[in-house]
Chain A
Amino acid sequence: MSDNASRTATAHVHGHSEENYLECAHGWKSWAFTLDHKRIGVMYLVAILASFLLGGVMALVLRAELFTPNKLFLSEDMYNQMFTLHGAVMTFLFLIPSIPAALGNFILPVMLGVKDVAFPRMNLASFYLWVFGAIFFLLAILLGGLDTGWTFYTPYSTTTNTAVITATLGVFILGFSSIFTGLNFMVTINTMRPAGMTWFRMPLFLWSLYATSIIQILATPVLGITGLLLVAERALGIGIFDPARGGDPVLFQHFFWFYSHPAVYIMILPAMGVVSELVSTFSRKTIFGYRFIAYSSIAIALLGFLVWGHHMFVSGQSALAATVFSALTFTVSIPSAIKVFNWLSTMYKGAISLETPMCYALSFIFLFGIGGLTGLYLGALATDVHLHDTYFVVAHFHYVMVGGTLIAFLGGLHYWWPKMFGRMYNETWARVACLIIFVGFNATFFPQFVLGSRGMPRRYARYDGEFIFFHQFSTTGAMILGCGLVLCAGVLVHSLLRGRKAPANPWGGSTLEWKCSSPPPHHNFDWPPVVTEPYQYDHIVYDPEHQGYVEVEDIPEEDEVTGVPVESHT
């Protein structure tokens, strides 16, 4: 070890005992059969970005078609298939695995201070299951497409002659991929925390991944059995969901939403965790209300199981059930609001620096605010009856899923990019991309709130002349959004080729991943790291020589839990 142990010198940066994870082994086999969570995370990242590209192109095609009220280039059938596949690809292939499986896989063990997740082989299996699921989706496109909407509602899904069975099997397989990730994370956090890493010293990103894992484990199997029953319905005619045989299609909706509403929180909770990290680091201030944020993640995960009926207010469920589901829906807004208030309080009087990840975090808070508040109109019974199945719903969930999850994913990607690949990107252009994305996003989806409240139904390929202005506004915004995303991708790819070498801690982050080199060594740490309270920034100072932050240890303080001096290795 070249570092000395003097208390006034900089702390040890892990990563001297071995090669970094990108260079420790070579050849395609070292990737295809790797058990290293970091490499699996990178493979996930490439895979989900490819599916995001696919889903994104579909979205642009849809918006282009809607530029005129009449047919431009898509037939009605093609339009139905296009929006179905856009929804299914974005939900199952991109949003659900985006933050947990790609960023989480890479960051969770490092943040926790361990060498790997509990079950590395299961982790790799989860990735390959994802690949198989994606292949089934592609097969579905080739075998006649899919036009049921991503929700697969019966009885239409049992009667359409598109490739429902193939797509449903794809969803089933992807579900297992998701379960494996969640199970792995939960076991890792429960049983592998190193000395000093108590529950309430865990970074909030880990709390959010833990809450996400609870949902993945408890909700996804129900989607699995629902998918199997749908396959059996089509293949054998078991009649459970088929009214022609005495079955009940609303039962399908209950089953589907029992998973798919909590799945919304699979998508948003990790995003909230990312934002908690970003806000604290770039405000250089201890997170405000740590425990409230941690508990609110768990609360959202649990309350998320009690509200599925709010997707079915017009499906014929009883008035009592609808009322109860509506009331329960409002309770979810409490922990969500707790988080937003805590982020704002963290920033208050903080030393805010507007680096790219922070720009995304601020975008998130604004867009999630709109997405969350418009959700209240849909959770309220009377307004929902008016707004149900209109563009208002489309705008609402895009504000949460794109404005929330995608923006936080991009923020997290920019935040951890130097750690993952050891390169800095061009800060100016990355910020410009963020701005274009923000503007393009609002231009796309804000008009859709107006469209929806004026009665424009969702999933229609054609529309009345009175909606032309807002549709064209929205389409223009979508193109701007597309350009912003392309610029963002360009900046990141450029950094891989020409980027300046990243320091271990470019942002002044206080969590454990910044204590190892960029990129991290194969086993993450030279020795088990000593864990202290997270979100303490006093001893992390900028060092012009490294062009990054270093940890100084001029105060010989004792660790409360373990009683050993902090970072006293020699």
Chain B
Amino acid sequence: MSTTTAPPPEAAPPEHSGGGNDDHGHGHDHGHDPFLAHHFGSAKQQFDAGKFGMWLFLVTEILFFSGLFCAYAVYRSTHPEAFANADQYLDPMLGAANTAVLIFSSLTMAWAVRAAQLGQQQLLVRLLTITLSCASIFLGVKAVEYSHKWDLGILWSSMFNPQLHAHHSPALLVMSIPAMLAVVATAILFGLGKSKQKPVQAKFWGCLLITSLSYFGGVGLGLTVPVIEGMITGETAVEVAEHAAATEHAAVEHAAAENAAVKHAADHTADGAATTAATAGSVEAAAAEQVAIDMTYTGIFFSIYFVMTGLHGIHILAGMGVIAWLLYRSLLGHFGPRYFGPVDFVGLYWHLVDLIWIYLFPLLYLIG
């Protein structure tokens, strides 16, 4: 990006020009840059502007998430035990699986940028499809996690009410409805494209059909990982979580039965009440009180968990939208050595979404 000097007058193709092989022989194109907007002096200037704009946008994204990281830091530093306790409700293996999926999708995205630069059209389409599918798998795993927490009552603060046994609700099914609709819609559109001899449309919807189906692959992954884990350790992750919930639950109820004043504090969860109870002489009551406070802040932890992962999920969905747009444009053969800016910029965005997850994973799953 030019900072102090004016941009060079001539349109220079950014980066390396097509040393790479045009798979399709699509190279001989468009006499004068068809993608150069009128208000830019050169393709290089347009590329620089787009790239700088994307970096600035990523800065705003980081600051957007920073509020949540800040809230996390504040409550974790004031109530570390509660956060450590909350960790046992989360399955690190599922988090790790999703981390691996996202990192792999970053690889395919970066590779897609490279393919666009080299004009490898077919490879570009495949890599974008894989990237989309990985995003889908991620959402599938996430749906399994969310629905499981719904069944166990492990929700945000006002609805945080851990149950001993998961009541089986159709939560997972409900969450999967959009994906089912997507499968049906893309399948129909794929068929239409095929029958009407529109190869670009057919390919596009075909790739999106693969993407939609991948979601169910993700659901499958989310359901099998805990089973495999259970076979290795001899106890299922579900049971671990339920066990934790049971311990907590019993402690709270015990305290409630014992002392009315403690129950009052448990409802209102004033920090100071623990010390009050302790000075009153009942050590046992104080301990139960502490458990109640921990439960409150475990609820806050899950508020942060749901807001952060939810926002991250929305970013994944937005990323899928723009990658699908890239996919369509690459099927039209828009990208090549002379013009690959959009692939590059969306790639940057995707890496950031990935990076945020890389921070979320240890902060949420691995602090126990």
A355 within 8 A of B: no
Question: CB-defined interface of A438-462 with B at 8 Å, one 1/0 digit per residue?
Answer: 0000000000000000000000000
Answer whether A236 and B6 are a contact pair too, CB < 8 Å, given A187-B53, A191-B1, A251-B74: no
Cα–Cα, bound, A218→B63 (Å): 7
For the complex, would chain B's binding face be called helix, strand, loop or mixed by DSSP majority? helix
**B6, A229: Cβ atoms closer than 8 Å:** no
**B303, A238: Cβ atoms closer than 8 Å:** yes
The segment from B64-72, B186-194, B317-325, B332-340 found at the interface with A is B64-72
Chain A residue with Cβ nearest B268: A244
**A222, B2: Cβ atoms closer than 8 Å:** no
Cα–Cα, bound, A192→B307 (Å): 39
What residues make up the interface of B, taking CB atoms closer than 8 Å to A? Answer: 1-4, 6-7, 9, 37-41, 45, 48-49, 52-53, 56-57, 59-61, 63-68, 70-71, 74-75, 156-159, 268-269, 271, 293, 296-297, 299-300, 303-304, 306-307, 311
Cα–Cα, bound, A139→B59 (Å): 31
**A115, B61: Cβ atoms closer than 8 Å:** no
The segment from A194-202, A424-432, A540-548 found at the interface with B is A194-202
Instruction: List residues 213-229 of chain A with CB under 8 A from any CB of chain B.
Output: 217-222, 224-226, 228-229
**B157, A239: Cβ atoms closer than 8 Å:** yes
A193 within 8 A of B: yes
**Complex interface: chain A residues within 8 A of B300 (CB):** 238-240, 245-247
**Complex interface: chain B residues within 8 A of A239 (CB):** 156-158, 299-300, 303
Instruction: List residues 229-281 of chain A with CB under 8 A from any CB of chain B.
Output: 229, 232, 236-240, 242, 244-248, 251, 255
A183, A184, A217, A218 — which one has the most chain B CB atoms within 10 A of its CB?
A: A183
User: 27 A-B contacts, Cβ less than 8 Å apart?
Assistant: A190-B2, A190-B3, A191-B2, A192-B49, A194-B41, A199-B4, A218-B63, A221-B60, A222-B64, A222-B67, A225-B66, A236-B156, A236-B158, A238-B156, A240-B71, A240-B75, A240-B304, A242-B157, A244-B268, A245-B158, A245-B296, A245-B300, A246-B299, A247-B300, A248-B74, A251-B71, A255-B70
Answer whether A191 and B158 are a contact pair too, CB < 8 Å, given A226-B67, A239-B299: no
Answer whether A115 and B49 are a contact pair too, CB < 8 Å, given A222-B63, A236-B158, A246-B269: no
Cα–Cα, bound, A183→B49 (Å): 11
**Shortest beta-carbon distance, A273 to chain B, in Å?**
20
**A187, B4: Cβ atoms closer than 8 Å:** no
**Complex interface: chain A residues within 8 A of B49 (CB):** 118-119, 187-188, 191-192
**A187, B56: Cβ atoms closer than 8 Å:** yes
**A225, B53: Cβ atoms closer than 8 Å:** no
Cα–Cα, bound, A220→B52 (Å): 18
**Complex interface: chain B residues within 8 A of A236 (CB):** 156, 158-159
Cα–Cα, bound, A186→B60 (Å): 13
Cα–Cα, bound, A191→B57 (Å): 16
Cα–Cα, bound, A322→B130 (Å): 53
Chain A residue with Cβ nearest B82: A246
A120 within 8 A of B: yes
A513 within 8 A of B: no
**Shortest beta-carbon distance, B12 to chain A, in Å?**
14
Answer whether A229 and B1 are a contact pair too, CB < 8 Å, given A238-B156, A238-B307: no
Instruction: List residues 146-197 of chain A with CB under 8 A from any CB of chain B.
Output: 179, 183-184, 186-188, 190-197
A116 within 8 A of B: yes
